[in-house]
Structure 1
Amino acid sequence: MKIGIIDYGMGNLFSVEQAIKRLGYEVLVSTDKEELQATDTLILPGVGAFQDAMKRLQETNLVSLINESEKSNKPLLGICLGMQLLFQESAENGGGKGLGIFTGEIERFDGRANRVPHMGWNELQFARYPEWLQENEMTGDRFVYFVHSYFATNMNQADLVAFAHYGDKQVPAIVQKGSITGMQFHPEKSSEFGVLLLKQWLDGVKKGVVV
């Protein structure tokens, strides 16, 4: 199975690429739509500003790649900013439209109530367990590493897989709608538990249960 990492010039792709390789999967990092279409699954990483990222995806014709993947039920995983881009819109820098796969908006943490950015380890709470997520393998601590100033709000609760608490906010941490999944945290930087979640998702794709 070959995993395609979408390179649109936003974020450090090396850590994601290396984590996937260590799990035994073949990886292609590319900006080319046709090359990425030939892979079995896609990963949309990202670090930076929402509007800049959407502009880059549009300029490189990769918005159409993601839309076509959703329509064909090709598995895709958005990580950090990559997850936020999957929502309808973001309030960042005056507002901007996202990919619209998930219902909801991306809003900034209230700096009066929470330190911004949210940076550190938080424990995941699971709202449900999709078929790819093997609860019996998740022993021990369930902490993952977050670095973000914005989070998803007003989402469809049926799409929520896991969340974390930050101050008085419930932060969507894993979302899934059909073949499209998002992780707000960085699984590749979240020690053994984060890598386990990444492994379970990739293994689920291979088994055909991420649909």
Structure 2
Amino acid sequence: MIALIDYGSGNVRSVFNALKSLGADVRLTADPAEISRAEKIVLPGVGAFGDCVRGLEERGLWHVMRDMLDSGVPFLGICVGYQMLFEESEESPGVRGFGFFRGKVRRFSTPGMKVPQIGWNSLDLAPHALWAGLPANPFVYFVHSYYPATDDAQTVIARSTYGETFAAAAARDHVAGVQFHPEKSQAVGLTILRNFLSAQ
């Protein structure tokens, strides 16, 4: 069973539908007991970093997510669900992330670039099982004003450039996160989700 975490974030239905289309047994859930039994975890996220953190805390899910990050169960963070895997964000000063990945989430600041970035952009991929079957430099769909900045190059599995080059995806052990929306990225996104479903 795939636990899709339900904590008031806005993009859960499209993620749910994408996973179902791949034949996954996916449950939209905020039940800690059900989450702890899951074979895989998907943590989506849309909106402000601090609001997403509070959404997890108010539902008693923050420590559940931390336990699952330490459990060895395959875990995928999407958009702000990915950003929360880092230490903190400029968007919400004083609000701590999980700190699973080293780094801080920063706002785009290149003069002349529209913020947020909305639309398709290419990825520069590093070897990883999530990318199996993808073409070189695939295009994926982004909607974001903030991006993770990290000096831990070993965890970065994809970069993209929008004025600044940033970590579009990161992974360590059983945990991965993507800044883009695979559920909105057509065939490329479905391939990525299928690869996650195949992860052991």
TM-score (norm 2): 0.94
1:37 counterpart letter in structure 2? S
CA deviations on 1:45-84 (whole Å, 9 max, x unpaired) are 0100111111121121211111111222111100001000
1:103 counterpart letter in structure 2? R
Q: Which residue of 2 aligns with 1:130?
A: 128
Give, in whole Å, the separation in 2 of the partners of 1:165 and 1:90: 19
1:145 counterpart letter in structure 2? Y
Shift of 1:31: 1.0
Give, in whole Å, the separation in 2 of the partners of 1:140 and 1:120: 19
Q: Which residue of 2 aligns with 1:154?
A: 150
Distance 1:132 1:92, change over 3 A: closer
Is 2:140–2:181's contact at 8 Å kept on the other side of the alignment? yes
1:182 aligns with 2:181: no
Runs of at least 4 residues of structure 1 off by over 4 A? none
Is 1:3–1:39's contact at 8 Å kept on the other side of the alignment? yes
Partner of 1:4, secondary structure, is: strand
Distance 1:33 1:155, change over 3 A: farther
Give, in whole Å, the separation in 1 of the partners of 2:142 and 2:46: 12
Alignment of 1:47-66 (within 5 A): 47-66=46-65
Give, in whole Å, the separation in 1 of the partners of 2:60 and 2:43: 14
**Fraction of identical pairs, as percent:** 38
Give, in whole Å, the separation in 2 of the partners of 1:48 and 1:17: 18
Q: CA RMSD in A?
A: 1.5
Partner of 2:111, secondary structure, is: coil
Shift of 1:112: 2.6
Structure 2 unaligned spans of 5+: none
Partner of 1:36, secondary structure, is: helix
Q: Which residue of 1 aligns with 2:104?
A: 105
Distance 1:113 1:197, change over 3 A: same
Deviates more, 1:112-121 or 1:36-45: 112-121
Give, in whole Å, the separation in 1 of the partners of 2:61 and 2:80: 15
Q: How many residues align?
A: 200
Give, in whole Å, the separation in 2 of the partners of 1:94 and 1:77: 24
Give, in whole Å, the separation in 2 of the partners of 1:139 and 1:186: 17
Partner of 1:164, secondary structure, is: strand
Partner of 1:103, secondary structure, is: coil
Distance 1:149 1:104, change over 3 A: same
Give, in whole Å, the separation in 2 of the partners of 1:186 and 1:155: 23
Give, in whole Å, the separation in 2 of the partners of 1:174 and 1:7: 22
Give, in whole Å, the separation in 2 of the partners of 1:99 and 1:11: 20
Structure 1 unaligned spans of 5+: none
Distance 1:111 1:131, change over 3 A: closer
